[in-house]
Chain A
């Protein structure tokens, strides 16, 4: 059996699903802890149960969506700066700068 055909832990979709399920469970538990544990926050809004959880989730979703939208006008081909500026000279021929 060569390493090419060796099965690794994450090659099994069930294991991936397990990890995701575990993450969801941890998130639910963490969210639930907000109602159980005493908090003493300097910032008043942070006393709302689930403040950090929602802030983290919404913040990241917004981050990715905005970043993705930025691609529409920031993205250029990989060799964008490698190309020399092409200019026409008086005779209409291309000239490398």
Chain B
């Protein structure tokens, strides 16, 4: 098994190592080879493969293939494929290598069967992905990347701690449904929660993703959070608390998205909103809900990737990505505009686009279990998604006020990557069974029934009407150069401000100690100076007779001592 079929992360990691020694077009070709080789390899691994090894008496499961891990494997390969194409023009060795290692780590994480191996890939993801942020090489990216890394590192630490405690309590390292009680499971839950951008733990995402390189963000948006959704679905499916956390995640980011100016940050908030739907699905935990969560993860990779790619293209071509600086780009970037609109329609869950066929599964599942309020919240969030991702992004970037920017469509490779994602969005929307047959649970579900299509169309068109009405009335908030305070204010401003008096005190004490030492040193130097300066004790000229006298005295003492010494023997 091991010889014929490699673990899914191996192709990516191997090529990452090879790319280290290649240059130019060869590197690009090799990078493109990674997802293709990976997909072929994954295709050949039989389902339900489990490989166990025993190291130092620990039974580890470095490879576990089942339907749940397989679909995540497929989606990561699809994401890696179009992301690599999108990044083909990038000649930055650091980005080339780290994106492959990052994809390898994500694949490793979804195909392991024990928590310790998961921890290894969990940390590898953190270490490799941060370079995609730092590769932007700006001061902001440096700071954001550092905060991102601290979050990811803490998540890994909690996972390790939780795993050890859970192991101690339950004697099991299996990465499967966990008993959600006790501190061990809670720590693991929080570790997953950080990576899944739970409310209040989410700021690493909205802080760092918009600061990454245009192509780096595509990888980031696809992998880390989806691994977290997978981990939750694997270990905490059916935990009711997830339903409420998810509901909060669908709602609060849309308010931020409306007032945020950086359009990639709008998408980052929108990503949390979409994760909310998945988390609710995992929390409900029925087969339909889990299928919904997983298929929504798949679809989110496509449409969120597409939207991030279109904004990345705008950033790449104009150097700007703030709503207040853009507008009217449809005139010279028509292809990007159409592709962005497909992404916008998909994320808004218009019928015939992929968002529709997955989001409705989670919502139906919520109603089936009697979570009417949650259903209403999700309905509100659906309208909200359309409002910020479906209308705001295309409107302020490609339409609206003419900014005077006349950038052309991006290079062919970027367009091709977007076309692939857009095609898949429409394909899955029109033929939902192409996705449904890959889902972990086999279940009959027909998204296209009359009342459902009508309901969703009404919701969206009236949301659009609201946007138009608000705009005409002048109520819609204009795009402004601004920063909106979020939970990260706590550690970026409040804590530093509270610590300021303590730090001031430390600085003062430190300064006094150093000043005192310098004063003492000066005193010593002055004394030495006094002794050595002309007329000082040590600078007096000695006469030869004086010197001879002293030498005679020394020799006499020496003689006396040696005589005394001999005498005593």
Residues of A within 8 A of B (CB): 3-4, 6, 8, 10-11, 20, 23-24, 26-27, 30-31, 33-34, 37-43, 46, 52-61, 63-68, 70-71, 73-82, 85, 87, 89-90, 95, 97
User: Chain A contacts of B375 at CB under 8 A?
Assistant: 43
A78 with B258, Cβ < 8 A, contacts A59-B383, A60-B466, A97-B503 known: no
Minimum-distance CB pairs A-B, first 5: A60-B466, A56-B462, A67-B258, A56-B459, A52-B458
CB distance from A77 to the nearest CB of B (A): 7
CB-contact partner of A70 in B255, B383, B464, B500, under 8 A: B255
Q: Is the CB of B508 within 8 A of A90?
A: yes
CB distance from A67 to the nearest CB of B (A): 4
Q: How far is the CA of A73 from the CA of B486 in the complex (A)?
A: 11
CB distance from B260 to the nearest CB of A (A): 10
Between A and B, 22 residue pairs with Cβ closer than 8 Å are A24-B465, A26-B461, A27-B461, A27-B462, A38-B450, A41-B455, A42-B368, A52-B456, A52-B458, A55-B383, A56-B463, A57-B466, A58-B466, A59-B379, A60-B462, A64-B476, A74-B484, A75-B483, A81-B143, A81-B492, A81-B493, A85-B493
CB distance from A47 to the nearest CB of B (A): 9
CB distance from B15 to the nearest CB of A (A): 38
A23 with B482, Cβ < 8 A, contacts A43-B367, A64-B470 known: no
Q: Which residue of A lies closest to B473 (CB)?
A: A61
User: Chain B contacts of A33 at CB under 8 A?
Assistant: 454, 458
Max count, chain B CB within 10 A of own CB: residue among A38, A58, A61, A95: A61
Q: How far is the CA of A34 from the CA of B367 in the complex (A)?
A: 21
- Chain B interface main SS type: helix
User: Chain A contacts of B383 at CB under 8 A?
Assistant: 55-56, 59-60, 63
Q: How far is the CA of A73 from the CA of B330 in the complex (A)?
A: 34
| Supplied contacts A37-B451, A52-B458, A78-B261, 11 more A-B pairs, CB within 8 Å | A10-B330, A30-B461, A33-B458, A41-B451, A56-B459, A57-B463, A60-B387, A70-B255, A75-B480, A89-B508, A90-B508
User: Chain A contacts of B456 at CB under 8 A?
Assistant: 52
Q: Is the CB of A10 within 8 A of B399?
A: yes
Q: How far is the CA of A61 from the CA of B384 in the complex (A)?
A: 10
Q: How far is the CA of A37 from the CA of B455 in the complex (A)?
A: 11
CB-contact partner of A80 in B406, B483, B500, under 8 A: B483
Q: How far is the CA of A43 from the CA of B451 in the complex (A)?
A: 12
B534, CB-defined interface residue at 8 Å: no
Q: For window 303-339 of chain B, which residues contact chain A by CB distance below 8 Å?
A: 330-332
Residues of B within 8 A of A (CB): 139-140, 143, 254-256, 258-259, 261, 330-332, 364, 367-368, 372, 375, 379-380, 383-384, 387, 399, 402, 406, 450-451, 454-470, 475-477, 480-486, 492-493, 496-497, 500, 503-504, 507-508
Q: Which residue of A lies closest to B255 (CB)?
A: A67
A65 with B475, Cβ < 8 A, contacts A43-B375, A75-B482 known: yes
A63 with B482, Cβ < 8 A, contacts A23-B464, A56-B460, A85-B497 known: no
User: Chain B contacts of A40 at CB under 8 A?
Assistant: 451
User: Chain B contacts of A8 at CB under 8 A?
Assistant: 330-331
Q: Which residue of A lies closest to B492 (CB)?
A: A81
Q: Is the CB of A68 within 8 A of B481?
A: no
Q: Is the CB of B462 within 8 A of A75?
A: no
Q: Is the CB of B463 within 8 A of A59?
A: yes
Q: How far is the CA of A79 from the CA of B125 in the complex (A)?
A: 30
User: Chain B contacts of A4 at CB under 8 A?
Assistant: 406
A34 with B458, Cβ < 8 A, contacts A42-B367, A60-B466 known: yes
CB-contact partner of B258 in A42, A58, A63, A95, under 8 A: A63
CB-contact partner of B450 in A37, A53, A68, under 8 A: A37
